[in-house]
Chain A
């Protein structure tokens, strides 16, 4: 309330300023016809003897406000952190299970314990070695750091391998998991999700309608990733490797294709059982191609 208000008693014109005008601009009435309007809001703080417009008050107010809000946010963040991390871990496990066609599990942790036998890292020669660290929730940074995770799963007595994937869609990141059969080339199931693709278009990659096109397809041909997501309607239905993209979401579909290609290319030694070809097994370790020495954790 830096300025005062004055009302002309003749015509009701309200003037804002430090003092009343010499003449009313509307009806030409003289200055004496103006009266000051005293507002309730302006009067209240003055009564308490507190000048809310002084510099000191303003700076103190801002400082106190910032400190209170900062403490509040830190407190909330710290108290909830444990639960949030648990939720993220649970969600990641559910995503891995979804790739194995075990969607919407009531007790994710228990099913995960039962189905996933090992969280392993691929070695340069394609062998698997047990991953020693904590359960990881960011497979993008793991991939970038050269830690190629493979989850060894056991679904109804059959061995499956789940590989985490990360890539870019149209608006933001996309990620997913691809589950392969024991032959390491036939797709058993997939799961995709995204951070900010267009709902109804690119967002459909998270739906089962798109994901159900994957099972039964083959990933590798001649030591190269052959699985392709092509523009909707362009897939050769008789091909083992081509999959229709999402209609109206060409860029997101291309993103899925690039993601699959980039990630699985890095896993080629594992997918093609390179260690067997190199003859590593012959030197007294015949089992390497069968179980890859991953201990089961049950």
Chain B
């Protein structure tokens, strides 16, 4: 049993990563990765919410009527996100201003619905909690990798601090404007998936 639980935590980090393998949550991965800071905050918020939603759905799983289960899952997620957003506004106003619309966007993140439907409906609360943490962190890891590359080459900064020295710019170096745009995020996610498939032969399709 312990083995199964640790699998639930570790699998989504790499071998069954929600972004790289299940291709879920791509839209938000494109939207928030122009800079590192919002990417990290978004990754952590999703982790917390998916873990909490997983636990609640897992506790309710035997009582939920089959025909309206998606609606129930949606209500749970939306209620959680709203509560978290209200709490942020009251106790961490700066963070809530930083996140602005992204908090609301968590509701539409496919990873949440995917995990609730695929895992929490069939497993106990503890395993579901670990699965939520694992998937959230797996998602956050991809966001951080993409945001790192985009911020470094797009703005020459990391966490808002100038990293590429001024003398580079004087020698004719220019920030890559395309990096700031969402299409480049898609290309980068594609590159990460490419690398991931190359390392995981069993995922390759013929």
Contacts and interface: CB of A to CB of B under 8 A. Distances in A.
A110 interface: no
A31 interface: no
A13 interface: no
Interface in A190-215: 195-196, 198-201
B82 A73 contact: yes
A84 B75 contact: no
B122 A41 contact: yes
Contact of B90 (A58, A61, A66, A83): A83
B155 A200 contact: yes
Given A52-B63, A87-B90, A199-B38, A62 B79 contact: no
Contact of B91 (A50, A69, A83): A83
A54 to B, nearest CB: 8
Contact of A61 (B63, B82, B83): B63
A178 to B, nearest CB: 21
A56 to B, nearest CB: 10
B93 interface: yes
A127 to B, nearest CB: 35
A208 B174 CA distance: 21
A72 B56 CA distance: 15
B24 interface: no
A91 B83 CA distance: 21
B177 A248 contact: yes
Contacts, number: 80
Interface in A1-29: 1-2
Given A41-B122, A58-B65, A248-B177, A199 B34 contact: yes
A83 B79 CA distance: 20
B83 A73 contact: yes
B142 to A, nearest CB: 18
B67 interface: yes
Nearest to B61: A41
Interface in A41-98: 41, 44-45, 50, 52-53, 57-58, 61-62, 65-66, 69, 72-73, 76-77, 80, 83-84, 87-88, 90-91
Interface of B: 34-35, 38, 62-68, 71-72, 75, 79, 82-83, 86-87, 89-91, 93, 97, 100-101, 122, 151, 154-155, 177, 180
Given A50-B63, A52-B62, A248-B180, 14 more contacts: A44-B62, A52-B66, A58-B65, A62-B71, A66-B75, A80-B87, A80-B89, A83-B90, A87-B90, A195-B100, A196-B101, A198-B180, A199-B180, A200-B155
| 7 closest A-B pairs by CB | A80-B90, A83-B90, A87-B93, A58-B65, A199-B34, A200-B180, A69-B79
